[in-house]
Structure 1
Amino acid sequence: MSAAEREIIFDTETTGLDPKTGDRMVEIGCIEMVGRVETGRTFHAYFNPDRDMPPEAERVHGLSAAFLATKPRFGEVADELLTFLGDAPLVAHNAGFDFGFLNNELQLIGRDPVSIDRMVDTVAIARKRHPGSKLSLDALCTRYGIDRSHRVKHGALLDAELLAQVYVELNGGRQIGLGLVDSDFTPATTTTTNAPWHRPPSDKPRRDPRPHVASPEELERHSAFIAGIDNAIWSR
């Protein structure tokens, strides 16, 4: 995958853990990145799941059945979502979970599923980069110094924003694309090397480097200054 390719970082919130047992997706948040840089384009939506909200799920994301009852059903915004996703790779944390719910919603409205060939799982990337370490989104934010103080509850768009920062760090940090990546490091989801970075030409006049050795006159003045100090410790 080219380093300049468009990618979508996304997260979902649901009524539970398994769409096969009737759980539904109730929120999705997507962040567009090009060349591992956020473009500012996002997609975010809540969905009416046409079912209750288990208390344990509501404690995680804070979305009540009453709140979601006023939101559109997935089928009403599916075209808009699919247009935003386009054919870009889709990056998620524990991506199999999010893909499972997204494709379940598509199946329920008779639409083709999103190919798992487009799936990029940041848990799998983090496991290779940091074997034996905690791999939750919170743990990775802590590892990379990413501020999550505003994350009181899970939210799809907020978590996607945090994941976008984590994803960049997992692939070499903000130095990616600047030609500063170690020669033995290959970003986990790229198949081509990054183009080298060149400093743009400057129109500013060049100045000769300043000397860093004191002149004889400066040394003489310094000696005279030191001699005028009574009981100087460096003269003992």
Structure 2
Amino acid sequence: MNFSTWPRLLVVDVEGNGCNPPDLVEVAALPVREGKPDTSTAGAWLIRPPSPVTAFAVRIHGLTNQVLESSPAWEEVADQVQDVLGEAWICGHNVSVDYRVLKAHLPNWEPAGVIDTLRLARSAYEGLPSYGLDALIEQTKPDLTQAPVVGRHRATYDAYATTQLLLAMASRYETWDQLIAVAVPPGMPGAPEPEKEATLW
């Protein structure tokens, strides 16, 4: 895979407050450049939600209401997040969740395309008992020595781990077009156009 042929791509991850629909409490956007995560230009935001973080959500990501009380509200950072995302491709693990939540919070934003490492993993590692991020980290053993120290289920860490997972699986494909043919969920931005059948007149 020639990574120099890739369009602008950011690996994203979001964490919510446990409500339905969720309010955002953390967003991470990690650019991939020349086949490497570019932490120097990554975006990361902690957000004070309008509704309290539920106990269930706290058990997952550890972001309590006390931790977030001095963070900005979404309205204060929304423009920054949209500027960082721009019209780039995005990638995530089970990315339809991240895309749906971001789109609900940024109705005027639309990525060029959407890559799902869950879809890639199901193709690359057939027969695994689980395709969750923890299971795939165990399977592929990516280099996480430079990952943020916050740990799993925090947006910055999960974005970094997902980036390494993406790059490991991308090496199985010769071209970008081959990759996205597998990786873009149907109906999502960037999905290849289906081939039209020849018509006899």
For structure 1, the 5+ residue unaligned runs are 173-180, 192-236
**Equivalent residue for 1:130?**
125
**Equivalent residue for 2:63?**
63
Contact in 2 for aligned 1:9/1:164 (Cα 8 Å): yes
**Equivalent residue for 1:164?**
163
**Equivalent residue for 1:51?**
51
Change (3 A) 1:140 1:17: farther
Q: Note the aligned Cα RMSD (angstroms).
A: 2.8
Normalised by the length of structure 1, the TM-score is: 0.65
What is the distance in 2 between the residues matched to 1:124 and 1:147?
Answer: 21
Relative contact order, CA 8 A, sep 6+: which one is greater? 2
What is the distance in 2 between the residues matched to 1:103 and 1:48?
Answer: 18
Question: What secondary structure is seen at the aligned counterpart in 2 of 1:8?
Answer: strand
**Equivalent residue for 2:153?**
154
Report the Cα offset of residue 5 of structure 1: 2.0
State whether structure 2 residue 180 is matched by structure 1 residue 189.
yes
Contact in 1 for aligned 2:151/2:157 (Cα 8 Å): no
What is the distance in 2 between the residues matched to 1:31 and 1:147?
Answer: 16
**Equivalent residue for 2:198?**
none
Contact in 2 for aligned 1:141/1:166 (Cα 8 Å): yes
2:180 partner amino acid? T
Normalised by the length of structure 2, the TM-score is: 0.76
State whether structure 2 residue 138 is matched by structure 1 residue 142.
yes
What is the distance in 2 between the residues matched to 1:25 and 1:46?
Answer: 8
What is the distance in 2 between the residues matched to 1:153 and 1:34?
Answer: 23
**Equivalent residue for 1:234?**
none
Bigger Rg, structure 1 or 2: 1
What is the distance in 1 between the residues matched to 2:56 and 2:17?
Answer: 9
Change (3 A) 1:45 1:151: closer
Deviates more, 1:10-19 or 1:51-60: 10-19
Deviations 1:62-108 (A, max 9, x none): 001122221111121111111111211000101111111111222xx
